[in-house]
Amino acid sequence: MFILSAIIISLIYNALKVDPKLPIYQPDMVNKELADTSVQYVRKFHKIGNFNLINQNGDSITPKDFENKIYVADFFFTTCMSICIPMTENMRVIQDKFIKDDEIKLLSHTVTPEIDDVKQLRKHADKMGLVDGKWHMVTGDKKHIYDLARKHYVASKTDGDGGPYDLVHTENFVLVDKEKRIRGFYDGTKDDEIEKLIKDIGILKLEYQE
């Protein structure tokens, strides 16, 4: 009788158990300081839009490079001596964790494109152990990059629109799903947040196995 009860309880538990799912973030769900005023009150259908950037090899990088991919995005600059150091080291941790998983990509945008040209990005990529094809460090038009930070990834408190004295400085890592939707924000300077991000990537991958 005891064994039969245990089996019944187990069957009921498995029937009721629901796999965890990550939220789909909309701009109105985040701190309004992180989003441009044009998107602060968007409540649905928000996605990362089109972009055209250049990576450490001089290759054009567009959303096509992330089709059917889950990716982590951040904003940095190569001459930063503060939060960018642990952020880049933690991006490498994520890279190494998913090095054999072609479903996962990384995308780091420089916020000082006037300094971080292709040659500088290549030098920095080599220094940080970047694996080509897995992790893209990208440069491009400054206003375009700042629009991405504020209007698409809603990840920076900077009010500027990419002017000569504007500087996006954010510790946020942004998890993006295959539909280009934001599924999580993480402090890229903290080890426990990186552990959570890695766990959440696993949860997100399960959604595509259903």
For 172-190, the pLDDT digits (tens) are 999 999 999 999 999 999 9
Exposure pattern of 177-207 as b/e (b: 16+ CB <10 Å)? Answer: beebbbbbbbbbbeeebbeebbebbeebeee
Q: Is 169 annotated as a binding residue?
A: yes
- What's residue 5's pLDDT? 47
Three-class DSSP category at 131? coil
Which pLDDT belongs to residue 128? 96
Q: Within 13 Å, how many C-alpha atoms sit on residue 49's CB side?
A: 12
Does the annotation flag 152 for ligand binding?
no
Name every residue whose Cβ is closer than 8 Å to that of residue 133 and which is 6 or more positions away in sequence.
none
Q: Region 20-41: what's the mean pLDDT?
A: 93
Residue 8 reports pLDDT greater than 80: no
Q: Which is more confident, 12 or 70?
A: 70
- Return left, alpha or beta for 133; rule: phi > 0 is left, psi -120 to 50 is alpha, else beta: left
Closest among 67, 71, 14 to 200, alpha carbons compared: 71
* d(C-alpha 109, C-alpha 53), whole Å: 9
pLDDT over 90 percentage in the chain = 79
Per-residue pLDDT tens digits for 101-124: 999 999 999 999 999 999 999 999
At residue 168 the predicted structure's pLDDT band, cuts being 50, 70 and 90, is confident
Q: What pLDDT sits at residue 169? A: 77
Is 136 labelled a binding residue? Answer: no
Query: How do beta strands 182-187 and 172-176 pair?
Result: antiparallel
Task: Give the mean pLDDT of 26-52.
Answer: 94
Q: Give whole-number Cα distances, 162 to 18, 105, 142, 143, in Å.
A: 44, 26, 5, 4
Higher-pLDDT residue of 32, 5:
32
**Structural domains of the chain in order of their starting residue, each with its CATH number:** 23-207 (3.40.30.10)
Whether pLDDT at 99 is above 90: yes
Confidence check: pLDDT of 208 > 90: yes
pTM: 0.88
**SS3 state at 206:** helix
